[in-house]
Amino acid sequence: MPANTKDFKISSLSFPVFTPSLLFGIGEGSLLPIIPASAQALGASLPTAGIITGLVMVGTLAADIPAARLINSIGERKAMLSAAAVGSVGVFVSLLSTSLWMLGLGMFLLGASVSVFALARHSFLTEAVPYSHRARSLSILGGVFRAGHFFGPMIGALLITLFDVRAVYWNAVIFCALAALVLVFVKPDLMPNTPGTKPGATWMVAKRESKKLVTLGVVSAIMGGLRTARIVGLPLWALHIGLSPAATALYMGIAGALDLALSYTSGQIMDRFGRRWSALPTLLGLSFTFSLLTVATDATTFLAVALVMSLANGVGSGIILVIGSDLAPKGERNEFLASYRLLVDAGVAATPILISLTTAVFGLATAMFTLTGAGIIGAAMAHRYLPRRAKASEQTLPISENM
C-alpha cells in the first residue's frame, strides 16, 4: 500500500481495515446491552451484574500495554486476526457459561481482544496512510465503529424478538469469526506489515513522551469520557423525566444516525483546517449540551438536546485517533499509542463511576454540570496545546510551548 499522497486512495482501506472493523464492531455492539441481563439470569445481583459488565473494560485496560509487544512481534494484520479469533472464543465461553465466573472470563477475553484489535488497526493506519489523508481515514474508522455499535444492538433486539438471548451470543461469535476470516484473505499488498518499532519498554517511552500525554493525552481522555457520558447520561436523564424505554431507544437511534452521518465531514475539517477545528467544537458542544440537558423536561426537548449533542460529537469523529497518530514518535509508534490508549481508556472507564457517585451524593443534574466543567477544562487545554493549523508536511503534531 503506497504511503505517498499521489498514489494513495482511502478506498484501498475498505477491505483490509474497515470491513473487519465493522464486522467486529457489530458483534461487540450486539452483545454489550444484554450482558447485565445474562449476569442476572445466572443469579447476580444488580451491583454484581454491573461488575460483570465492567469486566469488558477491565480486559481492555489490562491488554492495552501488552498489545504493543504483540503487534511488534507478529504485525498488525496477524494481531487483528488473532484478536478477532480470541474475541469469538470469549463470546463462545460466555455463551456456554453456567456460572458468573465463566461469564466474567468471557467478557474479560472480549475486552482484551478489543484492545489488541483497536491498537493494531490504529498503528497500521498511522504508518500506512499519508499525513494528508490521515484525518479522513481515521474519521471513517470512527464512523465504522459508530456503525457497528448502531446496528449491533438493533440486530440483537431483532434476534431476541425472534429467538432468545442466546441467539445474540451466536450472532457475536459469528461476526467476530467473520472479521477474522476477512483478515485471513487480505492480500499482503493490501495490508503489508509496516516497519516494526524498535524494542523498548512501553513505560520508558511513556516517560520520555510524558509532555504529550499529560497535555493532549489528557484532552483526549476527557473527550473519551464525555462521549461515554453521553451514552450513559442520556438514558439516565430520559428515565429521570419519565420517557419509556422504547421512546428513549428511538430518540437515541435518531441522534445516533446524525452522529454517524458526520463521520467523513469531520475528517475533511481536520485535514483541511487543522485538528483544533474538530476538537474544540466537540468539547465545547458536549459541555454546553450536558448543561442544556438539565432543562429537557419532555420528549421534544430531550430529542432536541440529543440531536445537538450528536452534532457536537459527530464533528469530532476520529479526533482521538488522529491526535494519537499525530503525536506518535516514528520509531516507537506502538509503545506510545499503547500508553495513549491506556490513558484514554482510563478516562472512559472512570466516567460512569463519576456519574454514579455524583448522582448518588448530589443528584443527576449536578452530575451533568460536573461533566460540563470537565469539558470546559478539556477545551481550554486543547486551545492551548493544539496547533492552530496542521501542516501537511509535518508527520508529528507540534505541541504548543506555552505550558
> Rounded mean pLDDT of 2-30?
87
Please say if the pLDDT value at position 246 is more than 80: no
Architecture category of domain 1-189 in CATH: Up-down Bundle (1.20)
| Segment 146-200, tens digit of pLDDT | 999 889 988 998 999 899 999 999 999 999 999 999 999 998 777 766 655 565 6
Would you call 283 exposed, middle or buried from its count of C-beta atoms within 10 A (0-12, 13-18, 19+)?
buried
Residue 399's pLDDT is what? 62
Q: Evaluate whether 55 touches 107 at the Cβ level (below 8 Å).
A: yes
Rounded to two decimals, what is the model's pTM? 0.90
Find all residues with CB under 8 Å of 156, minimum gap 6, and list them: 29, 30, 31, 33, 34, 168, 171
Q: Evaluate whether 139 touches 16 at the Cβ level (below 8 Å).
A: no
Closest CA to 142 of 7, 278, 33: 278
- The residue with greater pLDDT, 30 or 190, is 30
Average pLDDT score over the chain: 90
Domains 1-189 and 200-403 share a fold: yes
Q: Would you report the helix, strand and coil content of the chain in percent, each value rounded to 5?
A: 80, 0, 20
Largest CA distance in the chain: 59
Question: What is the residue extent of each domain of the chain?
Answer: 1-189, 200-403
Residue 361 neighbours by CB distance under 10 Å? 9
> Rounded mean pLDDT of 77-86?
96
| Segment 300-341, tens digit of pLDDT | 999 999 999 999 999 999 999 999 999 999 888 899 999 999
Taking the C-alpha atoms of residue 351 and residue 372, their distance in angstroms, rounded to an integer, is 13
- Cα radius of gyration (the chain): 20
Task: Name the CATH superfamily, with its identifier, for domain 200-403.
Answer: MFS general substrate transporter like domains (1.20.1250.20)
The pLDDT confidence band at residue 1, using thresholds 50, 70 and 90, is very low
Residue 248's pLDDT is what? 82
Please say if the pLDDT value at position 282 is more than 90: yes
